[in-house]
Structure formats: C-alpha cells, structure tokens
Structure 1
Amino acid sequence: MDSNDLKIFRAVAAEGNITKAAQTLGYVQSNVTARVQHLETEFGVPLFYRQRGMVLTAEGEKLLPYAEQILHLFEEAAKVMNKSSEPSGRLAIGSTHLTYSINIPEIFSEYHKKYPEVNLSLITAKTEDLITRILNFQLDGAFVKASVLEEKNFISELVYKEKLVLIASPEINDLQQLYKLPFLLNSVGCVNREMLMRYFNSQGIRDLTYIEFNSLDASINGVISGLGAAFVPEASIIRYEKAGLLRSFSVPEEYSLVYTYFIRNKNGVVTSAFSEFVRMIKESNDVNFIREDKI
C-alpha cells in the first residue's frame, strides 16, 4: 500500500463512482479500478459495494478516516519542506450558507488575483459537517456559526458577533401579529433556528407554522413579498428596512446573539497561504471581529 492507493480510495469514496474519480484525479479508469482492487486484496476485505456506483462497506468506512489522516500528513510534510514563503498549493475553506457578514466571494476574488498559484476552494455545509471536516483535515479553515463553540481539537482564529432580529412586512405593528405568521427558517440544525426556538419556548409560544428556506436572501425576499416572518442577521436587512420594505423587531440578547468563528485544526500546519487568507479577512472593511488570535 502506498499513499497513491489511499488517494485513489479517497477519491472513489468521495465521488461514489470509478469514472468520476478517474476524471478528478486525471487517471485512466482501469488504473483506478486496479488500485482499488489491490487495496482490497491487501486488506483482505471488500471496501466498496459495487451496485449503482461505489458505496463504502463497513470496512471501507473504517479505513476512510485513517486514509484522510495519512494523506493529510503527507500534504503537511510537503508544505513544511516547501521553503518558499509565497503562498501556493491547496487552500480549502468551508462556510455555512448563512455567513452573511463576511463577504467571502469578495475576499476569494481578491485572494485569487493576488495569489493565483494557490488552489483555492470553497465548500458550503452545515456547521456540524464543517467541524467534522476540520477535525478530519479535509479543510484548512472554516467559518461556522454557533451561540457557543467549545472544542479542544481546533482553534478559533477569529470570532465575529452578530445580532439576529425578527422581520416581517411593514404592515405588522407588533410581535403578537408577527407570531401569527408562517416563519421562513433554515432546516433543523441551523443556529438561527435553534436560537429562535429557545426564544419561543421562553415566551410559551406554540403551534407555529414553518416554511424551510435554506437561503438568507430567499428568506428576506419571502418576507418582503408578504409570505411570512423570519429571524435573520440585523446587518442583512438594514437597507431594506430603510427603504420601508420590511420591519424588524428585537428580542433579548440571550436569544439573539450568535457568533461566526473562523476555525482550524490545532494540529494542522499554518501555511503562508492560510496566514495570508486570515490577514485579508482581518483587513476587510465589512468585518469587525471581536477577537483576533495570533497564529
């Protein structure tokens, strides 16, 4: 077994398909098939079910995190041995769908123009999925949202505080009217939704109607069109409220303050590419972090 076998195994597991994995890796399909079969022979167990694609067996599931760690160590060794201080190589960043206050597309664009040698990628997912990817060394860093974040295996490089507010159309004059509306919320697991549920419970509010909107812009536009109410970052609706398109309502801080953390695995190597990305975030005019930890 060598690192290339594990790289192929990881790609097939991610793509769920030999052909797609071969295309991703730039290999001949027959070579990918042969290397997977070689691994299975070496371990003496099947690693994939071969029905309608390639699905990991129980043994394959056990191997995957070890493969991730081994490949990560190879990648980290290459980074350490690279004497150049100019950012280059891979930089994989994760983010939730609701990281509104940090203008990630703009930062990515600026970063790519300045450091075209960096292979930059952005993965969007739920906070729990991003944390898992950070712990498994699949991401170099990630923006995650939470009311409180406690984990011994990663470091929060930056923390940004954000206030959530209830919003409804301008015709809604008070909270009692607002509570009667359908609520446009993200799916279960979203910190905004969890905070709102806590607030409703504190008020003894029950029997609400929910409509799932996994997009901040869609939720705001839904409120403007009169579809219902929503619980969103205050910074995201200021211009709409000034234009008279909606009305906002505050709730107590214990139910409205959430935090965006930029985290990394504490055992990962801090590369020049990563350090420069953090610097750009800090210098963004649209972002006011409440803590900046040295890296």
Structure 2
Amino acid sequence: MELDELRIFQAVLQEESVTRAAQRLHRVQSNVTTRLRQLEDKLGVALFLREGKRLIPTDAAWRLGDYAERLLALSEEAGQAVADGEPRGRLRLGSMESTAGARLAPPLAAYHRRYPEVQLELQTGVSRDLILAVREGKLDAALVSGAFGDERLEEVPVFEETMVLIAAAGRDALTLERLADSTLLAFGNGCAYRQRLEFWLQEQGLQPRRIVEMGSYHAMLGCVACGMGLAMLPQSLLDSMPLLAAQVSIHPLPDDLRLSRTMLVRRRGVRHPALDALLDTLRPAGDAALAPAQAPSIPARGAMH
C-alpha cells in the first residue's frame, strides 16, 4: 500500500463521498475513484459498497481506517522528526463551546504566534460528538467534559470548571423541587453538562418538567435573563461575558455536581508534534483552573442559595 492511496481512502471514508473527498484533496473525481479501486484490488477486499452515488463503508474499511490513521500520523511525525523538529501541518482541534469561549483565546493566540506553520482548525460541538470525531480520525484531539475510560483514547486533564445554576436576576434561593418544576435550557443530548444534571436530578428522585434545547450559550443566557428557564454552565463562561452575566442570578450547586474536569482526548499511541506543542501551551493556562475556589455545599432537596 502507498501512503497516497491511504490518504485518498481516509478522505473518502471521512467524507463519505468521492466528490467531497476529491474537493478536499484537490483532485479530480476520476483519479480518486481509480486509486480507491486499485487499493481494493491490492487488498483483495471491497472497502465500500456502492449504491448509486452513495458509498457505504464495509467492516474491512473501518478496520483499515484505524491503521490508515496511525500510518499517516507516523509518516507526518517522521517527516517532522528528520526536518527541523518544528510543529507544522494541519491540526484539527475540537472543543466544547464553553471551553472555546472562556478558555482558549489567549493560549491559541500564543500558540499561533509561536508556531505559524501549523494550520489550526477549531470545531465546536457537544462532548459525545467530539469524542466520536476523534475516534474516527476526523479530529486530532478534542476538549471534552469528564473521563470516558476508552482504551483507544488518551485523556489528559487540562481545566477544572466550577459549574453554577443561573436564573433570572433577583431570583430567590432555589429548592431542588423548584428546579425540577422549572424549564431547563440546555444543549442537545450529547452535552456532558446536561447529562450530568439530568443524572443528578434522577438520583434525587426528580425529573425536569421540560427541557428546551439551544445551540449557543449567548441564546441560553438571553432566555434565562428573560425568565424563560434555568441553565447550568461553567462560572468561567460567565466571567468571560460580564454584561450578560449581570442580567442573571447565580446559584451554587452541590459538591457532587459543581466540579467538572475538562480533558484533552487524543487517539492513544498516535504522536502529533503540533498537538504536543498545543498541550504544552494549554497546560500553563490550565494549571490555575485545576484548583477552583470552593463553593458552599447544598444538601439534597435543600435550598439552593
């Protein structure tokens, strides 16, 4: 197998389309199709089932995808190792929106100044989708909430967030019963923060009356300020948006819910010099955030001050 064939195969697997893969690789479609069939002939297996214009990956394609990701990463690492050792090339980073908004701007700016040869791409999303993208090789790494224990992934703690509950300004102390009877504003089901809050409420024997899904924290804060409902988010995000934060009331959460660790996840065993350099840049910014100030604890079914 040639590395060029693996790059073409990987692009088709990730894009799920010869047309999009050709555009990504700046090649003509006929070349992509020919090289893909040549790879299938060499391996003696079908990598894709073809239904009209659709390409459906076979089990062999998914197995080869893991090896292709590692081989291409090793090839890039080897090229950098025998050059000047400076990080360069494309680095695809995923992040929760709250982390991107509250934590990443200063370290990414410093990283860009120090390593101008790295083409950094940032994609935001919910933790579940970001982890899947790392597993499938669509992202080199992602900043997500919590540890997942996946043997295919390496997890490095970067930040620790203090989670708070926000309500309309002037809202009195919140009881858990009132929380359960309120509308909760949250991201989609793949959001780790939402999952933690829902699971915690279930442990208290409660269930939110209604959940309204939103796509941004700005919209969430605006709706909370107008009295539409309650939301749980990191204190650091509020600190980064003082004008919006001034329009809501902030309520601490119990000890078993208020702390959330942000992890950088990457595929285990795949070395990426540009990613290593990014992690070195993030660590100083994360050191202070790994020891947040203590917030008062709230007993179950007690008042949420």
Does the residue aligned with 1:55 lie in a helix, a strand or coil? Answer: strand
Map of 1:205 onto structure 2: 206
After superposition, residues 20-59 of structure 1 pair within 5 angstroms as 20-42=20-42, 43-45=44-46, 47-59=48-60
Q: Does structure 1 residue 172 correspond to structure 2 residue 174?
A: no
Does the residue aligned with 1:54 lie in a helix, a strand or coil? Answer: strand
- Higher deviation after alignment, 88-97 or 58-67: 58-67
Letter in 1 for 2:206: I
Q: Is the 8 A contact 1:168 1:228 kept in 2?
A: yes
Measured in 2, the distance between the counterparts of 1:104 and 1:139 equals 17
Measured in 1, the distance between the counterparts of 2:200 and 2:116 equals 46
Measured in 1, the distance between the counterparts of 2:199 and 2:87 equals 44
Q: Is the 8 A contact 1:101 1:287 kept in 2?
A: no
| Per-residue Cα deviation, 1:67-107 (whole angstroms, up to 9, x for no partner) | 2233233223323333x133322322222233257532443
After superposition, residues 86-97 of structure 1 pair within 5 angstroms as 86-97=86-97
Q: Is the 8 A contact 1:7 1:71 kept in 2?
A: yes
Candidates 264, 267, 270, aligned match of 1:268: 270
Q: Does structure 1 residue 130 correspond to structure 2 residue 142?
A: no
After superposition, residues 59-138 of structure 1 pair within 5 angstroms as 59-82=60-83, 84-99=84-99, 102-134=102-134
Measured in 1, the distance between the counterparts of 2:199 and 2:97 equals 21
Does the residue aligned with 2:165 lie in a helix, a strand or coil? Answer: strand
Measured in 2, the distance between the counterparts of 1:242 and 1:104 equals 19
Normalization by structure 2: what TM-score? Answer: 0.80
- Following TM superposition, by how much is the alpha carbon of 1:11 offset from its aligned partner in structure 2, in angstroms? 1.0
Measured in 2, the distance between the counterparts of 1:63 and 1:224 equals 50
CA separation of 1:179 and 1:170: change in aligned 2, threshold 3 A: farther
Q: Is the 8 A contact 1:48 1:55 kept in 2?
A: yes
Q: Is the 8 A contact 1:94 1:123 kept in 2?
A: yes
**Pairs aligned (count):** 286
- Please report the RMSD computed on the Cα atoms of aligned residues, expressed in angstroms: 2.9
CA separation of 1:117 and 1:171: change in aligned 2, threshold 3 A: same
CA separation of 1:48 and 1:160: change in aligned 2, threshold 3 A: same
After superposition, residues 214-253 of structure 1 pair within 5 angstroms as 214-238=215-239, 239=242, 243=246, 245-253=247-255
Aligned residues with identical type, % of pairs? 29
- Following TM superposition, by how much is the alpha carbon of 1:248 offset from its aligned partner in structure 2, in angstroms? 1.7
Normalization by structure 1: what TM-score? Answer: 0.82
